[in-house]
Amino acid sequence: MSLQRRCLLAPLLLLLLIASAFRASAWGANGHRYTNRLAVDALPAALRPLYAANRDWIAEHSNDPDTFWKNQSRLEGPTHFIDLDTWGLEAANNFPQDYQAACKLYGKEKIDKNGTVPWRIGQFYGLLVHAFKQKDSRAVVEISAWLGHYAADSHVPFHAAANYDGQLTGQKGLHARFESTMVNRQIKFEDLKARPAVQLADPVASAFHWLRDSLKLSTTVLAADKEAAAQDPAYGDAYYTAFGAKSRQIAVQRLEEGAQDLASLWYSAWLAAGKPDLPASDVHAGEAAGQPTHDPTLVAPATTQKP
């Protein structure tokens, strides 16, 4: 490749990396903590002790995947979303759930750029089943925290839509206004209620279901943002009062559903592993708090549905 061509491509590559990095941001730190923490409360009694003993760690490390893409790998970004409507709404409703089938239909490069979060969930579910089978409590806890991030992302309306920041409709910045600022201003953990975990037959198929629901809700949030911005174009208190009146309940619903579905992933992995009995111990006792997990087994590319 010539030097001139490299110089021309460099800015474009940088923009793509920045875009992927932005897309990886979802509920914001609080929303992800809420999801992971609430999921522990949704577990059945037989599985809850190990998770309860590590509840604070699982909640605080819910954002480790974001830390990883920010500091170590921009390739992590697309594993946090999938734009189901890139090829139209009809295609969104019939999107191939098999990764290889999707690549065959649209091309691997396009699929990987378009987002791979449902297959990332399938991959980490497989890792969790394996950790349970090995009775590796530390791996169970760490993989569970990472899996929580991807499950929560799948319940964010704009992690399933091509118009992920309102950039296609003149509403740029909506991503953060809904998922971070509004949540931080108007939703406390105590506002959320745990819904009991259920067994999932197919984690990848379930993830696609969650994402299709997210895509449908994105239009409602877009409309709420447009109406609120008309009242307060500066996005001040008046904007968030009006915006929250129409969108807060959607955020509460998706946070609660995200926690339930995450707990269901944990529960289903435990069942698939034969319901191993693991001690209720703090697996990071005595270690420095706040150190993000960078285990290589947790950051493999999401190129298959199962590891």
Nearest alpha-carbon partner for 20 in 101, 117, 87: 117
Check residue 297 and give its pLDDT.
58
User: 286: buried, middle or exposed (CB in 10 Å: 19+, 13-18, 0-12)?
Assistant: exposed
Read off the pLDDT band of 304 (50, 70, 90).
Answer: very low
**Residue 45: how many other CB atoms lie within 10 Å:** 6
> Which stretches of 94-196 are DSSP H helices?
99-106, 108-114, 117-133, 137-154, 174-176, 183-186
pLDDT tens track for 192-247: 999 999 999 999 999 999 999 999 999 999 999 999 999 999 999 999 999 999 99
User: What span, in angstroms and rounded, lies between the C-alpha atoms of 305 and 71?
Assistant: 26
The CA distances from residue 266 to 88, 132, 148, 181, in Å, are: 33, 10, 9, 29
| Per-residue pLDDT, 26 | 66
Residue with tokens 């010539």: 2
Q: For residue 40, what pLDDT band results from cuts at 50, 70 and 90?
A: very high
Structure tokens at 66: 């974001």
Report the distance separating Cα 265 and Cα 263, nearest Å. 5
Question: What type of residue is 45?
Answer: A
Q: Enter the DSSP assignment of 84.
A: T
Contacts of residue 228, defined as CB under 8 A and 6 or more positions apart, other chains included, come to 239, 240, 242, 243, 246
Over the stretch 66-99, which tens digit does the pLDDT of each residue have?
Answer: 888 676 667 788 999 999 999 999 999 999 999 9
Q: Which amino acid is at 193?
A: K
Instruction: Give the model's pLDDT for residue 23.
Output: 55
Alpha-carbon gap, residue 175 to 172, rounded angstroms: 8
CA–CA gap between residue 174 and residue 282 (Å, rounded): 39
- pTM, two decimal places: 0.89
Q: Which pLDDT band, with edges at 50, 70 and 90, does 24 fall under?
A: low
Q: Count how many Cα atoms sit within 13 Å of the Cα of residue 272 in the half-sphere of its side chain.
A: 20
- Residue 25: per-residue pLDDT: 57
Report pLDDT digits (tens) over 138-164.
999 999 999 999 999 999 999 999 999
Quote the distance between the C-alpha of residue 27 and its chain's center.
8
DSSP per residue over 237-267, as a string? HHHHHHHHHHHHHHHHHHHHHHHHHHHHHHH
What pLDDT does residue 4 have?
Answer: 40
All domains in the chain, ordered by first residue:
3-298 (1.10.575.10)
Length of the chain: 307
For residue 181, what is the DSSP state?
A: I
Bigger pLDDT: 192 vs 6: 192
